[in-house]
Chain A
């Protein structure tokens, strides 16, 4: 009995300690991606396909510059610059977001609320010692992640999204990485940008007036919204601090061309459903790295202020 009791008293603090370390590790990882300059070669594997790319990530005073170059298949290079801060909503600035979620906190806080973090051991990725970590969802509306975090820099070296049954669905992994050094003084070219993302106060995402997403899994917050003026499409992006999904609401004209469907490839699920009012039919699509069931439920919860009925 004494042994048994001792075992309990010893193991509980050990578990708590491990969990604390896990949270610190993830926090460190998020910080590292905001502060460090790095470049490297990565592989991305899903649905039986493997892609290789070269990436460059530079943090500068005026924002973050990111570039990805495909090394196989069709040639392509994407470059982004994010001018300032996180684009995620924070509670002090947008009260409307509260309607969409009961949780109102930073990305990391929401991540903690939605996932259990567990250190699984030591591993080696891209020639570097790394700690592996399992991010296990607390409900069935998001997918587990298995990640490896560099012991030296705290950067994420590997990320595997698993199915709810624990099978790998997609895998992103560094083959080689260089951190700091010459990258810290490297100048960023402006000409080659594909996209510029500005996150100043004026561009904070606002829920789109006409449309309401009635239900999102707990912990997901609106991170971006957009109305496409020409085709009349409304786009809403949500994140729980780790996973993300995007809701598309198509105009009547577009909807005529889109069938309702369910699709999944790798960790990404896409679900398209129909909404109808007296005269018109709209299409709602939900795309994200979430289980298809969750995507379906989100799609079905979308409604219009003019009380659209769901199509039977």
Chain B
């Protein structure tokens, strides 16, 4: 018995007693990995014997059948259910997308009322207009007309999360009022003949109209 086999025997014994170090465990596993080698066979026999002795000492039933080979084969033969990496990506990004859209809804819900008009990019995600016709169109600079300046005190205040108004006005009332003026405006705009029936298309629901007319 070589020095190595001696160490191996000690490691196996330690593993059996639950006192094996990392080095012991690794040494045993390494020997067992060489399945057909003399050492591996010996080790397996020894392990089985140790287990039997231990069972007898504890008064457990001792089986003489070696299941290990069958179990190994069964595991090898088991079909592997592979997961398509794309599905993984999709499902994870799906979760992300949902989370993102929930966040977006939350943000939009607030923004619609809180932010000045300029900062909400309503054009995002709009269907493509078929041609390049509008390319290069830049409207006139957003400038104030002659003789008019927007002073701080005249500025229209917007409702923001930290403004005092929020506490005074009910958001529900404010939203109802906004819906009302939008619908009322839509019902007024058809006076403009050049727009054809476009303004009608802006109308939201039947109730908003019948309530007013």
Does A194 lie within 8 Å of B209, measured CB to CB? yes
Q: Across the interface, which residues of B come within 8 angstroms of A273, CB to CB?
A: 156
Kindly provide the distance from the CB of B105 to the nearest chain A CB, expressed in whole angstroms: 11
Kindly provide the distance from the CB of A87 to the nearest chain B CB, expressed in whole angstroms: 4
Which of B127, B159, B202 contacts A261 (CB under 8 A)?
B159
Known interface pairs A107-B192, A246-B188. Does A134 touch B133 (Cβ–Cβ under 8 Å)? yes
Most chain A CB atoms below 10 A, which of B136, B168, B181: B181
Which of B117, B122, B137 contacts A47 (CB under 8 A)?
B122
Cα distance A45–B122 in the bound complex, in angstroms: 11
A108: nearest residue on chain B (CB-CB)? Answer: B194
Does A111 lie within 8 Å of B194, measured CB to CB? yes
Known interface pairs A146-B134, A237-B191, A246-B188. Does A55 touch B213 (Cβ–Cβ under 8 Å)? no
Which of A42, A194, A245, A287 contacts B210 (CB under 8 A)?
A194
A243: nearest residue on chain B (CB-CB)? Answer: B192
Which of chain B's residues 139-197 have a Cβ closer than 8 Å to chain A? 139-145, 148, 150, 153-154, 156-159, 165-166, 168-170, 173-174, 177-178, 181-182, 184-185, 187-197
Task: Say yes or no for B61: interface residue by CB 8 A criterion.
Answer: no
Task: Say yes or no for A303: interface residue by CB 8 A criterion.
Answer: no
**How many contacting A-B pairs (Cβ < 8 A)?**
252
Most chain B CB atoms below 10 A, which of A80, A223, A262: A262
Task: Say yes or no for A76: interface residue by CB 8 A criterion.
Answer: yes
Does A296 lie within 8 Å of B156, measured CB to CB? yes
Task: Say yes or no for A30: interface residue by CB 8 A criterion.
Answer: yes
Task: Say yes or no for A37: interface residue by CB 8 A criterion.
Answer: no
Task: Say yes or no for A219: interface residue by CB 8 A criterion.
Answer: no
Interface residues on chain A, number (Cβ under 8 Å):
102
Which of chain A's residues 238-284 have a Cβ closer than 8 Å to chain B? 239, 241-246, 248, 257-266, 268-273
Kindly provide the distance from the CB of A45 to the nearest chain B CB, expressed in whole angstroms: 6
Kindly provide the distance from the CB of A289 to the nearest chain B CB, expressed in whole angstroms: 8
Does B122 lie within 8 Å of A264, measured CB to CB? yes
Which of A132, A134, A168, A287 contacts B185 (CB under 8 A)?
A287
Using C-beta atoms within 8 Å of the partner chain, give the interface range for chain B.
Answer: 35 or more
Task: Say yes or no for B109: interface residue by CB 8 A criterion.
Answer: no
Does A259 lie within 8 Å of B184, measured CB to CB? no
Q: Across the interface, which residues of B come within 8 angstroms of A241, CB to CB?
A: 192, 194
Task: Say yes or no for A57: interface residue by CB 8 A criterion.
Answer: yes
Does A258 lie within 8 Å of B193, measured CB to CB? no
Kindly provide the distance from the CB of A232 to the nearest chain B CB, expressed in whole angstroms: 15
Does B194 lie within 8 Å of A30, measured CB to CB? yes
Does B174 lie within 8 Å of A171, measured CB to CB? no
26 A/B residue pairs, CB under 8 Å, sorted by A: A45-B126, A123-B130, A134-B133, A137-B139, A137-B140, A155-B196, A159-B195, A164-B142, A166-B137, A168-B127, A239-B191, A244-B195, A244-B199, A246-B189, A248-B184, A257-B170, A257-B174, A260-B156, A262-B115, A262-B156, A264-B120, A265-B122, A269-B117, A270-B181, A296-B150, A310-B154
| Given A121-B131, A134-B137, A235-B188, 10 further pairs, Cβ under 8 A | A29-B194, A33-B193, A47-B122, A57-B196, A77-B206, A107-B194, A120-B133, A144-B137, A144-B139, A195-B187
* A residues apposed to B, CB below 8 Å: 26, 29-30, 33-34, 42, 44-48, 51, 53, 55, 57, 66, 68, 74-78, 80, 86-88, 107-108, 111, 120-121, 123, 132, 134, 136-141, 143-144, 146, 155-156, 159-160, 162-169, 171-172, 194-195, 197, 215, 223-224, 235, 237, 239, 241-246, 248, 257-266, 268-273, 285, 287-289, 291-293, 296-297, 299-300, 310, 312
The 10 closest A-B pairs by CB, nearest first: A164-B139, A292-B117, A264-B117, A167-B123, A76-B206, A166-B137, A259-B169, A120-B133, A44-B201, A287-B185
